[in-house]
């Protein structure tokens, strides 16, 4: 049995995170729309991503939902979403009565392919959701150009990409709106669940704040009174979550550097393994390596990725098949089954995410790399 049968798990909260949560509890200011800890967290997030406004919400899925709602997505509309992503990128389109239109991804970055988007645009297209998958920056220059030419706004889904940069700038400020997830596994967490919508547009920010809290807001000419301007949701973050988020956010750079260090170590140890393609970092970008994803190139005598994953798991290395079911092939989106998205369909049989989180030390990573090498090229 391996000495690394039980690799450390993620997340690992620091004492600071826990003390911040306790202090928020002791404050007896736990929730509500004007909560100052939530506002402090929003200011830190906005400043960190170089945007004007951050609106904290209860999950990343709620963030996508509110971003789409702020763009007035509704029945009869189409929203283009990559098929190679987590379902939370797409399900909110359906909540609003609109239709997700699944697009293909590029073979190297696994992010939304601008050419695929271009081919799917119609007069009903209301938004494009560009996902920075695994922490790799999507090609926002090309995607924004496609959106701008068609007059269609672009939402960045940066659930996996706090810490990702492009052209020296953090992601989140390239699209009209951007969605953050603070789920426990993400680059940073607000204590299990959480999210935020980022924007430079003050009109969207005001609407997002209102939608997050039942659609309620001040009444013009009636100081001190509020009412519901429209039907909204309760998607607020609590002060305890915001306090943990703030403490974690202070360590964002350190955590991203640890992920990048671990990715570099794995790449060094896996270089030259026959049949294994290592993750790419597009020129001019910084990959946050929320996931370190390798491609098993099909070849004679080489086991397929699913078999390699099973072997690795049996040896105590918790690898994941990376989206073995593209969204358009899942029962939830049964009406899209006939669509052909060849790159994502092929990748769904070939990608593996290896353990690489900041809780792992070099010994763990070397062990992971040795086991992968042994399983891929036995
Ligand atoms: C790409 C992507 N979008 C959206 C979400 C939804 O975020 P949450 O789990 O916080 O609702 C996730 C979370 O896993 C994600 O990875």
Q: For the segment 92-144, what is each residue's pLDDT rounded down to a tens digit?
A: 999 999 999 999 999 999 999 999 999 999 999 999 999 999 999 999 999 99
pLDDT confidence tier of residue 1, bands split at 50, 70 and 90: very low
Neighbours of 250 (CB within 10 A): 16
Residue 141 confidence (pLDDT): 98
Rounded mean pLDDT, 241-266: 98
Q: What is the pLDDT of residues 12-68, one digit of tens each?
A: 999 999 999 999 999 999 998 889 999 999 999 999 999 999 999 999 999 999 999
pLDDT at 330 over 80: yes
Task: Report the atom number in ligand 1 closest to the C-alpha of 185.
Answer: 14
Residue 163 has pLDDT above 60, yes or no: yes
The answer to whether the CB of 286 is under 6 A from ligand 1 is no
Among residues 140, 213, 188, 210, the alpha carbon closest in space to that of 16 is found at 188
- Indicate which residue's Cα is closest to atom 10 of ligand 1: 60
Q: Which atom of ligand 1 is nearest to the CA of 133?
A: 1
| Position 159 pLDDT exceeds 60 | yes
- Mean pLDDT for the stretch of residues 167-190: 98
Please tell me the predicted confidence (pLDDT) of residue 33.
85
pLDDT at residue 4 above 80? no
Q: What's the 3-state SS for the chain?
A: CCCCCCCCCCCCCCHHHHHHHHHHHHCCCCCCCCCHHHHHHHHHHHHHHCCCEEEEECCHHHHHHHHHHHCCCCCCCEEEEECCCCHHHCHHHHHCCCEEEEECECCCCCCECHHHHHHHCCCCEEEEEEECHHHCCCCHHHHHHHHHHHCCCEEEECCCCCCCEECCEECCCCCCEEEEECECCCCCCCCECCEEEEECCHHHHHHHHHHHECCEEECCCCCCCEEECCCCCECCCCHHHHHHHHHHHCCHHHHHHHHHHHHHHHHHHHCCCCCEECCCCCCCEECCCCCEEEEECCCCCCCCHHHHHHHHHHCCCCCEECCCCCHHHCHHHHHHCCCCCHHHHHHCCCEEEECCCCCCCHHHHHHHHHHHHHHHCC
Percentage with pLDDT > 90 across the chain? 96
Task: Specify whether the backbone of 29 is left (phi greater than 0), alpha (psi in -120 to 50) or beta.
Answer: beta
For residue 134 and ligand 1, the question of a CB distance below 6 A is answered with no
- C-alpha 281 – ligand 1 centre gap (Å): 22
Is it true that domain 252-376 has CATH number 2.40.50.140? no
pLDDT for residue 32: 87
Is the CB of 159 inside a 6 Å radius of any atom of ligand 1? yes
Q: At what angle do helices 305-314 and 362-376 cross, to 10 degrees?
A: 130
pLDDT of residue 76: 98
Task: Tell whether the model's pLDDT for residue 3 goes beyond 70.
Answer: no
* CB of residue 368 inside a 6 A radius of ligand 1: no
Q: Give the mutation target among 61, 81, 111 for probing the ligand 1 site: most ligand atoms within 8 A of CB.
A: 61
Task: Categorize the per-residue pLDDT at 221 as very low, low, confident or very high, splitting at 50, 70 and 90.
Answer: very high
C-alpha 7 – ligand 1 centre gap (Å):
24
Q: What mean pLDDT value characterizes the chain? A: 97
CATH hierarchy code of domain 15-249: 3.40.640.10
Above 60 in pLDDT, residue 2? no
**Mean pLDDT across 330-348:** 96
Q: pLDDT category, 6, cuts 50, 70, 90? A: confident
Q: Please tell me if the CB atom of residue 156 comes closer than 6 angstroms to any atom of ligand 1.
A: no
Strands 285-286 and 169-170: unpaired
Domain coordinates in residue numbering, the chain: 15-249, 252-376
Expressed in angstroms and rounded, the spacing between residue 192 Cα and the centre of ligand 1 is: 12
85 lines ligand 1 (CB under 6 A): yes
pLDDT score of 323: 96
């Amino acid at each position: 049995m391996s000495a690394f049968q039980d690799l450390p798990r993620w997340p690992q909260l620091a004492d600071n995170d826990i003390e911040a949560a306790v202090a928020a509890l002791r404050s007896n200011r736990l929730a509500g729309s004007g909560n100052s800890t939530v506002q402090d967290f929003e200011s830190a997030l906005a400043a960190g991503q170089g945007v004007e406004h951050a609106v904290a919400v209860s999950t990343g899925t709620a963030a996508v939902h509110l971003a789409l709602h702020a763009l007035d997505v509704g029945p009869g509309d189409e929203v283009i979403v990559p098929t190679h992503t987590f379902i939370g990128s797409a399900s909110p389109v359906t909540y609003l009565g609109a239709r997700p239109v699944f697009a293909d991804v590029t073979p190297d970055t696994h992010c939304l392919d601008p050419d695929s988007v271009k081919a799917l645009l119609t007069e009903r297209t209301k938004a494009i959701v560009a996902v920075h998958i695994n922490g790799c920056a999507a090609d926002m220059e090309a995607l924004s150009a496609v959106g701008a030419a068609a007059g269609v706004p672009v939402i960045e889904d940066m659930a996996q990409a706090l810490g990702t940069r492009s052209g020296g700038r953090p992601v989140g400020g390239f699209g009209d709106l951007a969605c953050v997830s603070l789920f426990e596994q993400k680059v940073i967490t607000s204590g299990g669940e959480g999210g935020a919508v980022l924007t430079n547009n003050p009109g969207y920010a005001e609407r997002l704040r209102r939608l997050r809290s039942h659609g309620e807001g001040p009444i013009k000419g009636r100081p001190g009174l509020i009412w519901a301007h429209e039907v909204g949701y309760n998607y607020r973050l609590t002060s305890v979550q915001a306090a943990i988020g703030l403490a974690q956010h202070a360590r964002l750079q350190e955590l991203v550097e640890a992920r990048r260090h671990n990715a570099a170590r794995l790449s060094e140890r896996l270089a030259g393994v026959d049949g294994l393609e290592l993750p790419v970092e597009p020129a001019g970008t910084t990959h946050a390596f929320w996931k370190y994803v390798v491609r098993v190139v099909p070849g004679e005598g080489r086991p397929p990725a699913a078999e390699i994953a099973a072997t690795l798991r049996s040896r105590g290395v918790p690898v994941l098949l990376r989206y073995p079911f593209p969204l358009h092939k899942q029962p939830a989106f049964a009406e899209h089954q006939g669509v052909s998205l060849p790159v994502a369909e092929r990748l769904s049989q070939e990608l593996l995410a290896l353990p690489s989180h900041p809780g792992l030390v070099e010994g763990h990573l070397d062990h992971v790399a040795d086991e992968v090498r042994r399983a891929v090229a036995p």
